[in-house]
Amino acid sequence: MKFSVKIVWLNSLLALFLLSSCDPARIIDENKDMPEQYWHFKNRPSFDVNIADTNKTYNVYLNLRVGNDYQFCNLFVKVHQLSPGKAESSERKEIQLIDESGNWLGKGLGDLYDFQAPIYTQIRFREKGIYRFELEQNMRVDTLRNIYAAGLRIEDFAKANGH
């Protein structure tokens, strides 16, 4: 019995490793769960990313998981970036979640919808090293309900497009 449990566990670990290595374009693709599905404006999920090649171009995406009881049709997010040389920048982005007909634009499963919205496309980072990205919800209410997770994906543009 113990032997079969170990085999199942090892097979699961191998499958997880294989699935995670199937995306050669990914630099980071990480999500952080929101406590009790509330995104308070002071809760700023952060992501540290090592950029090793300043000659490559990258795509940067905001990941969101939203419940179908979310009260708005969009979401404003401020993306804060701190470079290895400590240069700071911020940019406000609007993510459209529902179309004019009331249909969700994300990929849905049950009452949850996943979004991957472009923040920057084909950008070059000027410095090698660790960049810190912080996501700040920037709506007119302090706390957004029915936000399950927010995250960041950065991918190598050439690899993502088969080059």
What's the pTM value of the predicted model, to 2 decimals?
0.82
Number of domain units in the chain: 1
Pairwise CA distance, residues 72 & 142, whole Å: 14
* Domain containing residue 78: 25-160
pLDDT digits (tens, 9 = 90+) for 113-147: 999 999 999 999 999 999 999 999 999 999 999 99
CATH number of the domain residue 40 falls in: 2.60.120.260
Decide if 13 is inside a domain.
no
Cα 137 to the center of its chain, rounded Å: 13
The verdict on residue 44 lying in a domain is yes
What's the rounded Cα separation, in Å, for the pair 115 and 95? 9
